[in-house]
Chain A
Amino acid sequence: MALRKLMDGKVHDVPAPKSLSQVQFEKLKASTQKQKEVLTRIVKSSNVMSAFK
């Protein structure tokens, strides 16, 4: 779920997509180069590793 204000002006808990196309579904199975770089930065960052204790 994600909380979001919808067209009716009220906040709803919107469920995650349950009917992705095969192409959309396959996207989830591989990270992009940028996502790899972000993850590498986070894992290697000693600041981040120690920041959330």
Chain B
Amino acid sequence: MSCQLLNRAVNYANYEDFSKDFDKFVYYNKYEVEDRESIKLLKEMIADGKTVCHLFYENDLPVGLLSLSFENVGSSDGVALSITALCVDYLFVSYNFRNKNFCTCRISHKILDFAIKTLYDLNNTIGTINNLILLPANNDVKNFYLDYGFESLSGEWLYFSIAK
């Protein structure tokens, strides 16, 4: 297995092209009932331009998807403050690739690396965006994120900062 995941999101010129591959991705996974509602909502958000979805492939097999958006994170103490963070709206690893290593790490680990690299590139380009935030789906996933380097922020929300 090569160590390269192909991220197709950067190649799409319009939503219709993306939508066809997205539908193939969904068909490939034959989503379990509990995930179907998420996928339906995610597709609406993509169509509305509320989130940017990246599809990842290895040898033409869809191994995972990551959807990102910008979110304002605020403080209510004293003077109201807010900063803009990159937010993981949805991260999904295809059922066939779960708990399997991709080279030396898991697919989800590799996709998180991509998210952090995106944050790093954004910070270098436009500055001031230093944080990736996410809301884990359950405690098992939360522990995976904490092992990766995320920290607790508020409630179940976690953050990863690249601020110096």
Contact = CB atoms under 8 A, between A and B. Distances in A.
Contact of A51 (B3, B34, B74, B82): B3
Interface in B80-124: 81-83, 85, 87-90, 103, 110, 113-114, 116-117, 120
Contact of A35 (B114, B153, B161): B161
A31 B164 contact: yes
A3 B117 contact: no
Interface residues on A, range: 35 or more
B134 interface: yes
Nearest to B74: A18
Contact of B161 (A17, A27, A50): A27
Chain B interface SS verdict (over half): mixed
- Chain A, interface SS category: mixed
B51 A1 contact: yes
Interface string A18-29: 111110110111
A35 to B, nearest CB: 5
A19 B81 CA distance: 9
How many of chain B's residues touch chain A, expressed as a range?
35 or more
Contact of B90 (A3, A42, A53): A3
A35 B146 CA distance: 11
A7 interface: no
A13 B120 contact: no
Contact of B4 (A4, A24, A50): A50
17 contacts: A2-B88, A3-B89, A4-B135, A16-B85, A17-B74, A17-B157, A20-B73, A20-B77, A25-B77, A28-B85, A30-B163, A31-B130, A31-B160, A35-B149, A38-B149, A39-B116, A49-B117
Interface of A: 1-5, 10-11, 13-22, 24-25, 27-32, 34-35, 37-39, 42-43, 45, 47-53
